[in-house]
Amino acid sequence: MTNTEQKALKKFSAQLRIDQLEMFKQRGMGHIGGCLSVTELISVLYGKQMKFDPKNPSWEGRDYLVMSKAHAAPTVCAALAEKGFFDKKLLLTMDDIGTHIPSHVDRLLTPGVDMTGGSLGQGCSVAAGIAFGLRHMGRDDQYVYVCIGDGELNEGQNWEAFQFLAHYKLNNCIVFIDNNKRQHDGYCTEVLNPFSYEDKMRAFGFWTITVDGGDEEAIDDAINLAKKVKDQAVCIVLDTIKGQGVKYYEDMPDNHAPKVFEEGKAVIDAAIAELKKITEGE
Ligand SMILES: Cc1ncc(C[n+]2csc(CCOP(=O)(O)OP(=O)(O)O)c2C)c(N)n1
Ligand SMILES: [Mg+2]
C-alpha cells in the first residue's frame, strides 16, 4: 500500500468514526462497542477493496458485504453514505419511525445493504449461498465479504456454513471474525470459551490468518493474501478492541449498547474534535 493510500484510509476510518459517534449521540444510544471495532475493516472494504456503484446499488458486477453481526449497521451505513449511496443527512435519522437507517442492517431499507440481519448466526450461510451462486455462474472476479462477531460464533449455524465453504473451496467468500473478546454479557472466554479461532478454522479446512483489526494496512495485506489462496476457504481473524478508537468506550465495563447521556455526549464531542484533526490534517 502506498503512503497516500494509507493516509486516505486512516482519514476514512476517522470519518466513519465521526459519523457513527454523531449517530449514537443523536439517537441517545447504540451498539457502540461492536460498531467501533469493525471501523477499520469497513474502511478498507469500502475505501479500497470492494467493487460497487453507488448510483446502481444492485449492479450485477458488485462485491457483496454480509454484516452478519447486524448491529454494526451504523458502521456500514456511514460508509455507504460517505460513498454516495444516499444523502449523508439520513444517518442522523437512525431508528426514527420510517427511517432508511435502522440500527440493524436491512437490505429492503438501505441502498447498498445486501443482507438483512438482527438474529445473529445467519449471515455466513447467506454469504456462502451468494459465493456458491457466483462460482456457479463463473463470476470469479466478484467477492463476498462476511463479518461475524466472536460472540455470534456461539451460534452453531456458523459452523455449518464454514463446513459448506470449506467443502466447496469457496475462496471467493472471505470470512472475517471480529475478535473483540467481548459479547453482550461479558467476555467471550467467560460466557462460552472459544479457545483458538485460528486452530478451529484451520481444523475446519480454512486458510487462516490473524491481523491487527485496527490497522488498515494489515487488513488490506491480509485480504490480498487471502485472494491469492487457491482451492481453499479463507478466514481473517481481526484482533480488535470492543469500543476501538475511543478510549472511554474501550474502558467502559459494559460497552455493548450503552445509553449516551450528558457525560457520553461530552465524550463524543471531544472524540469528534480529536478525529477531525485526522480528517482535516494533511
Ligand atoms: C440469535 C440472537 N441471539 C441474541 C441476540 C442479542 N444480541 C445482540 S448483539 C449480541 C452480542 C453479540 O456479541 P458479538 O458477536 O461478540 O458482537 P460484538 O462484540 O461485535 O458487539 C447479542 C447476544 C441476537 N441479536 N440474536
Ligand atoms: Mg464481540
Dump pLDDT digits (tens) for 85-136: 999 999 999 999 999 999 999 999 999 999 999 999 999 999 999 999 999 9
d(CA 51, CA 15): 20
Cβ of 121 less than 6 Å from ligand 1: yes
Looking up cell 441502498 gives 111
Is the minimum distance from the CB of 152 to ligand 1 under 6 angstroms? Answer: yes
- Helix (H) or strand (E) segment spanning residue 221: helix 216-226
282 pLDDT above the threshold of 90: no
Q: Whose CA is nearest to atom 18 of ligand 1?
A: 34
Cα of 118 from ligand 1 centre, angstroms: 8
Sequence-distant (6+) residues with CB within 8 A of 206 are 162, 165, 166, 175, 232, 233, 234, 235
CA gap 66, 107 in Å, rounded: 10
CB 135 within 8 A of CB 169: no
User: Which numbered ligand comes closest to the C-alpha of 179?
Assistant: 2
Please calculate the CA angle 44-239-209 and round it to the nearest 5 degrees. Answer: 80
Number of structural domains, the chain? 1
Tell whether ligand 1 has an atom less than 6 A from the beta carbon of residue 104.
Answer: no
Query: Which residue in the block uniquely carries the three cell numbers 480454512?
Result: 206
| Cα 153 to averaged position of ligand 2 atoms, centre (Å) | 9
78 lines ligand 1 (CB under 6 A): no
Q: How far is the CA of 121 from the centre of ligand 1 (A)?
A: 9
Q: Which range marks the domain in which residue 123 is found? A: 3-279
Contact 31, 71 (CB under 8 A): yes
> For residue range 136-162, what is the model confidence (pLDDT) as tens digits?
999 999 999 999 999 999 999 999 999
Q: Side chain identity at 168, as an amino acid letter?
A: Y
**CATH number, domain with residue 196:** 3.40.50.970
pLDDT in tens, 254-277: 999 999 999 999 999 999 999 999
